[in-house]
Amino acid sequence: MKFLCIDCDEQMTFTDRKEPGDGTFGASFACPTCGHRVAMLANPMETQLVGSLGVKIGGRILDEEPMELTRSSLLGKDDAFHDAPSPTPGKVRFSPEGEERLAKVPNFVRGMVKKIYGEWAAQRGIGEITPEVMDQARIDLGLEDM
């Protein structure tokens, strides 16, 4: 959502955000050309909705990250999106065919998937993860429909 100055047809810029502590928030915007100002006031329910959606009132300083809302909701799972080595380095490895299949997994969850397969194989004393091992792990973990 963007606010436009009716007189200048310019996009207004964010100037201030206030949270008085009663569950509401206010945001003000100004026209960069004529200086005309407008304000928006959100009630407690709207404030809660905006907060739960992760909306940043007033724009952002940093570039948006892929899957930002999902990543931020995985509190305490800092390594969930990193392409980490197998849980038991040197003992569990992926076969070339397993690596090829793993490469088809979206990059942002590949590390987590690799870790899950590695842990599953290590618990069973499996040293090489092949597509067949991956199929069995999916069945055992209840992921065959994914």
CA distances from 37 to 11, 30, 58 (A): 12, 4, 14
CATH 1.10.8.550 region(s) of the chain?
A: 76-146
Answer whether residue 128 shows pLDDT above 90.
yes
Instruction: Determine how β-strand 93-94 pairs with β-strand 128-129.
Output: parallel
The arrangement of secondary structure in 76-146, i.e. its CATH architecture, is: Orthogonal Bundle (1.10)
121 with 133: CB under 8 angstroms?
yes
| 13-62 confidence digits (pLDDT tens) | 888 888 888 888 888 899 999 999 988 888 888 877 777 666 666 655 55
Cα 132 to the chain's mean position, in Å? 31
Instruction: Determine the Cα–Cα distance for residues 30 and 36; give it in Å rounded to an integer.
Output: 6
Burial class, 61, CB count within 10 angstroms (exposed 0-12 / middle 13-18 / buried 19+): exposed
With CA atoms as reference, report the closest residue to 66 among 114, 104, 109, 108: 108
Write down the pTM of the prediction. Answer: 0.40
Answer whether residue 82 shows pLDDT above 60.
no
With CA atoms as reference, report the closest residue to 57 among 22, 21, 11, 18: 18
| 59-80 confidence digits (pLDDT tens) | 555 555 666 666 656 555 555 5
